[in-house]
Every structure is written in C-alpha cells, then in structure tokens.
Chains A and B, each alone.
Chain A
Amino acid sequence: MILGIDVGGTHTDAVLVENFQLIKKAKVLTNQANIMASLLEAAQKLISGDNINNIERIVLSTTISTNAIVQNKTNRVAMVLLSGPGLSPATLDLGKDTYFAQGYVNHRGIPVKNVSSREMEEISNDISEKSIRHIGVVGKFSSRNPQQERDAAELLQKESRIISLGHTLSGQLNFPRRIATTYLNAAIHDIYDAFVHDVLKFISKIGPNIPVYILKADGGTILIEKSLECPVQTIHSGPAAGIMGVLATARIKEDAVALDIGGTTTDISVFADGVPLLEPSGVAIDGRKTLIRGLYTKSIGVGGDSVVKIEKGELVIGPQREGPAVALGGPFPTPTDAMIVEGIVSFGDAEKAKKAIAGLARKLDLSVEETARAIVEKTAAIIADHVRDILTEINNKPVYTIHELLEGKIIKPKILYVAGGPAAIAPVIADNLGYPYSIPEHSEVSNALGVAIARTTAEITILADTEKRELILSEEGKVEEIPRNFSLADAVDTGKKTLREKAARMGARPEDIIMEVTESQEFNMIRNFYTTGKNIRVKVQIKPGLIASGTER
C-alpha cells in the first residue's frame, strides 16, 4: 500500500492506494502556518495500527519551498560568481551579497583563468564579517567543468557554512538561470531542512522503516533524505501533483490537453503520447527563471469565479476575482452563475444567479438565458483560444536539425481532460476545440493519487570530448578519462548506467527505471582540416510517469 498526501493551498488530501486502486481517502483543511500539522492530520485519518505494516512507501507533495520563496522566508545568501567575460553583470539580477571572482572555463570546459586563493580568502573574510552562513558558488560553463566551483567551495568551506554549487543542480547551459537556481537552493535550505526533519520525526514514530518520498517539480519522486541535497527541486511540487493527478486518474496515452479550472485561474497542461511536457529550460518562480526541470503548465486569468462585466457593449470575463459566484453570496456575476442559470450545474441560490445575469442581460438587450449562454460560450472560447495558442507555441519551438524541422513531432490533441469545480463547462470548451472531452473520476483527490503513484525521475547530461579524452557527467560533477575511440554508443551506455545508479540512489525501484535518450549527437571536430576528435552530447532521462503496473490497469 502507498500513502499519498498532497498539501494544497486550501486542502490537504490523502489517499491510500493498493494495486492502483483507491482504498481510502481523506481531506482536511491546510493550515498554512503549520503544514506539518495538516500532514499529520490527513495521514492519521488513513493509517492505523492495522494497516501501518502494509504501507510500503509514503509520498508527499509540499508547498514548503514555494511558500518560503514567495513569502521571502529565506536565508541570506552570499553568491560567489566565476563569470569571466561575456554578458555584462549589470544585466544579471543580483542581490547585494554578490562577489565576482576570478576564474573562467570556456564552452568546452577548458580552464582559461584559475580561481585565486588569495581572492577567495578575502571574500571568505567578508562573508564572515557579514555573518552569512549560506553560500552559492556558480561558474560560467561549470556544467562543462565543475572543478573551479569545487576549488572555490573548498577555499570557502568553514564549519557552519552551507555551500550550494551550481553544477550539481542542472546539466543545462544558462549561467543567469544557474545563478538563480543556486541562490534559491541556498536560500530555502534551512526552512526545508527543518521540514524534512519534522517529517522524519513523525515517520519514525509511526513506522520507522517506511521510506518517504517527495514530489519534485518535474512530477517525479525522490527519497526525502536525498532531497536535502537539492531542496530547490521541490519547488512547484503542488502544480506537479495536479498534472500527475490527471495522469493517474485519466491514464492518458495519447496527445492530450488537461485543464484544471479553478475559481480565479485555469491551469493548462499538455501531454505528448501520454507524457506530460516539461518546461524547455526550467520553471520560473517568483519572477526568477531557473534551470529546475519542471512540468509545463500555463495559468490563465479565467476561472469559475472571474468577474463578468460589459465593456463597450462586449462581455469581458476576468481576470479579476472579487469573491465567489453571486449564487454563493458573491458580489458580482461570474461564469459559475451563468452555468447555474444554464442548468449545467446546480448548487447555490439559482434565483440570485438569475438576478445577477439579468443585470447584464438588460445592458446587452438579450434574454437572461441568451446572456447566460453567451457568458458560458465566451468563457469557453477564451480558454480554447489559450489552448490553441499554447499548442502553436509548443509546435513552433525552434529545433536545430533538418531532421527535426521536417519530421519533428507535432502535438495534435485527441482529447481534453477537465478537472476542477467548474468542470461542467468542459463540453462547451471541447466543442470549441473540436475534440472530445473527459472528466476523470476521483478528481476531488486526484492530486494525492498522482503523488502516490508517480515514479522517480532523473536526468543525466553527458559531454564527451575525445580530443581532450574526457567525459563529463554534468549533474554528477564527475569527469572521467576516455579512450580516443570512445563512441556515441559508449556515451549512451555510460549515460544509462549512471542514470540507473542515480535513480536507485534516489529511491527508484528497478522496474520503474524506464530510460529514454532525449539527445544524442556526435560532431567531428576538425582543426586545420584534420579530424582531431569527436564532440559527443547525450542526455538520458527517466521521463515523468506512473510507477510500473500503474500504466496498465
């Protein structure tokens, strides 16, 4: 049995799942000031002395990291940057505790200028004077050679200092994002650390041997102890739970679009052959663009409680929300009121809803029913337009090979999945989009279900340079010697082997390690008209999905 708990903004949901069947569910209000209390309360509703021994794992989503960032409950962080020449530092978004230090590696990971120990000592002293405990060290191209970040960290290391290194958080290139990612990782360290210890304390009380997992931004799980190395990966755990929930309840296999229609906003996510799409570079949080692998989701300002107004004789829906529907005692007419008048949902005070819509109907010189219909259709049309725009954008994503440009995958949704309170509008949206819809079952606890049966995900980025006779495993920070005849196939093998070990360390069961090579390129390096080596680039991932046997019911 698996216990899955989703800590949401309003509710904390918990489910017990056995053989992919929902056994038991519970819902409690989330106490934002004390997330631990909510977790405990939800868990205790489902576990007892009878079933505790049958629980093989506990999986949690958490808002702790996101909240810490958004609410500024973060540590003061000193950032030490080995930036070298290039983009002007003035264009970077940096805090006051930033130090630029000597040290630079180029695009191939070849050191151009070394770290200076004297300079690091000065920086170290300054950090001590400011009594800053958390440090982020980020080098340009450090994912191509981690050594200088390590050298700097070694020179800065002191008891009580906690240092985050840029290359450990992502294998992707993007120096400004690497800085933001490393900063956030250091900034949420203490609050996340405390949370993990609280969770572990609680678990040790109920059943000391149950492994606990946390859901990451990419919809994959990681053992909670391992997550301490990279707390920043747990941002956006909540939205990821939502998307994994759709996957868990709908068992998507084809190209699809999923909508989570809430009161204020509608979240749109996209699936290609049943796999949720990832953000191409990384998720953004609180205005900061990061390198954190995360599920793609786009939030638009239209929901069931959006205010409906008339401007210049036209209906305008959202983006403001001023309260619930009039039918539920709110101040302004909303799409939900229109749906009540239309009779597609039935709750609240229908008379009040009718009265609210009638006010708009007079201005439009239409009947109440016609107005309600127009509001529902307009709401659906806005959402459908956004869905089309998103698909156009995704399908027009730049590619870099002729093969991809001519033969690349184009997403053509076959079905629309709709969840959330106002999901009753689904047929109207589906009609506008021209494909069928479905409202998955158990949608009231789907997030917790998604959390419970999500698999462990991970990624490995490899750059092999046979001229340098070196291979780097970017996220692992490992550099290995390779022979001159090292091939693309060898690099893929190394990637798979490393990824398997990494996933196992993160807590994946062997049967859940389903790997996919997402990039494999090989370039002949020619210098002065002679082949001097090969530049090989490989990425292997375990894509987001459900644990084994969860895919077949």
Chain B
Amino acid sequence: MAKKEKKTGLIFFPAFDWAISVNHPEREERLLYTQDQVFEEGLLDFPNIREYKPGIATYAEINRCHICVPNPQNLTTNSHLISAGGAITAAQKVLSGEVDNAFALVRPPGHHSMLVAHGARGFCNINIEAVMIEYIRHKFGVKRIAVVDTDCHHGDGTQDIYWNDPDVLCISMHQDGRTLYPGTGFVDDFGGPNALGATINIALPPRTSDEGFLFALDNVILPILDEFQPEIIINSAGQDNHYSDPITNMNFSAQGYALLNEKLAPHIAVLEGGYSIEKALPYVNVGIILAMAGLDYSQVREPDYDEERIRQSPEVTRLIEEEVKNVMTLWKKKKNLKKQIVGSAAYIRREKNIYYDTDDITEKQIETVRVCEDCGGLVMIESAADTGKKIFAVILPNSCCPECRKNGEIFFDRVNGSQYNHVYFQDRQRDVFIVK
C-alpha cells in the first residue's frame, strides 16, 4: 500500500516510576505493554520515525495558561513537568520543521485541568496541551490552533481554558456526559460570548463503534476544521474509547484509531486517557504511530478483535446522526447567536461548581467576561475552594484589545486584596504573570 511517508517524532515517556496511588489506573504499569509492542514491532528503527527525550516544563510555562492555587510548585511533581515538557518537545520538533508531526506518548494526562486549578481532577494536575499551546503561540507566533479531543471523557479542562478564546478551536468528541465522568460536554456548550463556535462538543452514545466515530469525524470535525482553517491541529489522543477499556462503554478499535488519525492528520498528538493497558493500548498506539508516519497499519489488530461483537446498533447510529445534525445546525447559526445571548450586557457572568474527584476538593467559581467585538475579552474569575483558599484572577486574552487591557489593569489595581488569599494577573498577550 503506497502512502506518503511522513517524518514522525515520538516522545515516549512512560514514567515507569510514578503512580497516583498503588491501585490507580494512572500507575507505573500503564504504558509498559505499549513499550513492549512498540519495541517488538521495531518502530523506532524506521528512518522516518525518530524518538526524542522529553524536556521539562517550567513554572513560567504553566503560568501562561493556568491560575494554579496557590502556585504551580505546589500543584505539580516532576512527573507533571516532564509530561508537559514532553508535549512541548513534540511541538518544538514540529514547528521547527525537524519532523512533519509528533506524538507525545507521555503520562500523566492533562485535559481535565481547568484554567483555575486548586488540585487534581480526572487524574490531571495541569493541562499539558494548554501548556504546549501557549508555548507554541509564545515561541512560534502561531495564531489559530485547533484541539480535537478524542478521549472518551469530555475534555472539560481544555474547554475551560479556551472558553473565551476565539483563536483556539476546542472540539471534544466523547461518551455522552449523562453516562460518564465528568458529566459535561453537550452540544450547547458552544464557547464564551466572544468565542461562540470555538468550543464544539459531540456527545456520542455508549457502544459507539468505529463507524460512529468516523461518521462524526467526517460530518462534524473535518468540515468545521476546514472552515476554521487552523495553522496547527492537535489531537488530545485519549485511548479509552476502546472496546476493552475498563472505565468507559465505547466500542472503538485500534484500526478505528489509526484511520481517525490518518484522516485528521494532526500535527501533534498528545496521549490523554486510556486504561485498557494490555488489550488496547499496545495496539492503539502502534496503529496511531504508523498512521502518523504514513506507514501501513492495515495489519494492526487486537488479538481478540471481533468486528461483529462490537458493531454498533441501528439505534446508536440514529442517535449519532441526530447529534451530528444538531451540532452542525448550531455551527451554521454561530454568527447570529451572539446578539441573542449577550443582548445589551457589557459583561457576562457564569457561575460554576467544580469538583476535583482525584483530590476531593469542591470549588465555587464566578467568571465574568467583558463583551468585546475586538478580542476574546477580559476575563475575571473569583474562585473559592473548600480548602479555604479564595482567589481572584484577571486574565487578558491572547490578542487583547486596548479597551479590555485598560479595564483589566484597573480591576487588578483596585481589587480589594484583603478578601483573597491571592490575586493573580495573567496577561497572555504580553506573557506577564503577577501575583499579589
């Protein structure tokens, strides 16, 4: 089979000496069998596949996309810095032109970490894709970026960080939130007032198989990407849609994952979840690597693969077709939605209750966004967690307009600091981070 070979970078960091806890799915053993399979298939000997050692992310790089409470030092261990550093290495190799695309096969994952982070949720402490995205913007001046989250769980952290950013398109395709953690990610989660349509959610019913995923890819993800025209496409590559995953209910296969990556053709893929460590991950990862490198993956198959057993029902097909229709209907109306949602308001408020399942923390948040025609809008967040920490943050967007900047600086200046443990100022445009 003649395909176009690509130079693919692989950042493989299984962190064989790190676990959340002894029995946790996010443990030392997670990528052990993937390593075995990748080594045994001899993938690292291909002239167009090159392995790189991960870098180590800095706290300043984390402060570009997170408000870590109290600070990133307290929220991360070396494992998080290396996993984010691995994603950064992948981006660096792609954007410098050393490789055509890259796969950061790193752990721990990050896509459930939100803008304000009081602790770990969904096995994630910091959002490694977001740290990487801000690195890409800062270092390479890339403006338009798309993240396609193919993890089985809603990529709620990435969505939260870019909720008000019209230049970062976040598409998450996941198992319906009514049946799975974190319980969010429905069609009408469509982005903040100045970034409508830059957040897209596709909720798929349980027992969706290859057919359904590829249908959503062809009929929602690819057309929207085509319209958005990102300079860089990132796949948040969770592998827990696999039919053998122990904590989800989907029926995706290694072949399906490989085909999805071939069609999506991401510049960078970053591993997220996926906990069927023996029956799925070795095969899914080999499939993705081969697909990214433009090599023949047609023979990659799980030993227990049975097409009939995982075929989706007509009812599942019907639900997916309906979901796809709803998303596309909303997408087509996106230009007219702002007036309808915003009305005459100058600021839009959103209240959120966030639960950190991994660390058992509850947080109450009030997010206020300045309605703006010229940029993503000034964002202010008041957040109080049951750890007793209460903070206030002023966030200036990446292409901040003078009016939002002026307002943001005034708010930061005048905020009554005595009410809060910390007050943060994050200027994504000028790469300034101040805590008081």
Contacts and interface: CB of A to CB of B under 8 A. Distances in A.
B1 A90 contact: yes
Given A86-B300, A88-B298, A406-B78, A401 B16 contact: yes
B303 A523 contact: no
Query: Lowest 7 CB-CB distances: which A-B pairs, in order?
Result: A176-B42, A88-B296, A107-B36, A173-B39, A85-B301, A173-B40, A523-B29
9 contacts: A88-B1, A112-B303, A141-B36, A174-B42, A400-B16, A402-B15, A402-B17, A526-B25, A535-B32
Interface stretch (A17-25, A215-223, A308-316, A391-399): A391-399
Interface in A489-534: 521, 523-526, 528-531
Interface residues of B, number: 48
B23 A531 contact: yes
B45 A174 contact: yes
B79 interface: yes
B18 interface: yes
A103 B126 CA distance: 44
Given A107-B40, A289-B45, A398-B12, A524 B303 contact: no
B382 interface: no
A91 interface: yes
A510 to B, nearest CB: 34
Interface string A414-440: 000000000000000000000000000
B12 A400 contact: yes
A226 B4 CA distance: 47
A398 to B, nearest CB: 5
Nearest to B303: A112
Interface in A381-410: 396-403, 405-406
A108 B82 CA distance: 28
Contacts of A174: 39-40, 42, 45
Contacts of A399: 53
B37 A405 contact: no
A452 to B, nearest CB: 35
A175 B52 contact: no
A177 interface: yes
Contacts of B16: 400-401, 521, 523
B54 interface: yes
A108 B278 contact: yes
A264 to B, nearest CB: 25
B301 A401 contact: no
Nearest to B46: A91
B228 to A, nearest CB: 34
B299 A85 contact: yes
A176 B290 contact: no
Contacts of B15: 400-402
Contacts of A87: 41-43, 286, 290, 296, 299-300
Contacts of B22: 524, 531
Given A106-B303, A401-B15, A524-B29, A529 B296 contact: no
Interface in A267-291: 281, 289
Interface residues of A, number: 43
A243 to B, nearest CB: 24
Interface in B1-27: 1, 12-18, 22-23, 25, 27
Interface string B281-314: 0100010001000011111110100000000000
A402 B303 contact: no
Contacts, number: 117
A531 B54 CA distance: 30
Contacts of A397: 53
A91 B43 CA distance: 11
A104 B303 contact: yes
Contacts of A84: 303
Contacts of A85: 299-301, 303
Contacts of A88: 1, 295-299
A455 interface: no
B35 interface: yes
Contacts of B78: 402, 406
B189 interface: no
Contacts of A529: 23
A236 interface: no
A89 B25 CA distance: 34
Contacts of A523: 16, 28-29, 32
Contacts of A86: 37, 40-41, 286, 299-300
A108 B79 contact: no
Given A141-B40, A281-B45, A406-B78, 19 more contacts: A85-B300, A86-B40, A87-B41, A87-B300, A91-B296, A106-B303, A108-B278, A141-B36, A174-B45, A177-B42, A398-B51, A400-B35, A401-B16, A524-B22, A524-B27, A526-B29, A528-B246, A529-B23, A535-B32
B33 interface: yes
Nearest to A175: B40
A167 interface: no
A106 B278 CA distance: 10
B37 A107 contact: yes
A283 B43 CA distance: 17
Contacts of A172: 39
A134 interface: no
Contact of B54 (A91, A403, A405, A524): A405
Contacts of A406: 78
A523 B28 CA distance: 7
Contacts of A106: 303
A402 B290 contact: no
A90 B82 contact: no
Contacts of B27: 524, 526
Given A88-B298, A531-B23, A400 B42 contact: no
Contact of B53 (A141, A289, A405, A525): A405
Nearest to B52: A398
B34 to A, nearest CB: 9
Nearest to A396: B53
A176 B82 contact: no
A140 interface: yes
A217 to B, nearest CB: 18
Contacts of B46: 91
Contacts of B286: 86-87
Contacts of B37: 86, 107
A402 B246 CA distance: 27
A485 B27 CA distance: 21
Contacts of B303: 84-85, 104, 106, 112
- Of B25, B42, B45, the most chain A CB neighbours within 10 A belong to B42
Given A140-B40, A141-B40, A526-B29, A403 B17 contact: yes
A470 to B, nearest CB: 16
A530 B246 CA distance: 13
- Of B1, B28, B78, B295, the most chain A CB neighbours within 10 A belong to B28
Nearest to B12: A398
Interface in B198-215: none
Contacts of B295: 88, 91
Contacts of B17: 401-403
Interface in A53-101: 84-91
A273 B25 CA distance: 39
A84 B282 CA distance: 14
Given A88-B296, A112-B303, A400-B14, A524 B28 contact: yes
Interface string B130-156: 000000000000000000000000000
Nearest to B34: A107
A181 to B, nearest CB: 12
Contacts of B18: 402
Interface in A443-460: none
B279 to A, nearest CB: 9
B33 A108 contact: yes
Contacts of A524: 22-23, 27-29
Contacts of B51: 398
Contact of B82 (A173, A281, A405): A405
A83 to B, nearest CB: 9
Contacts of B35: 400
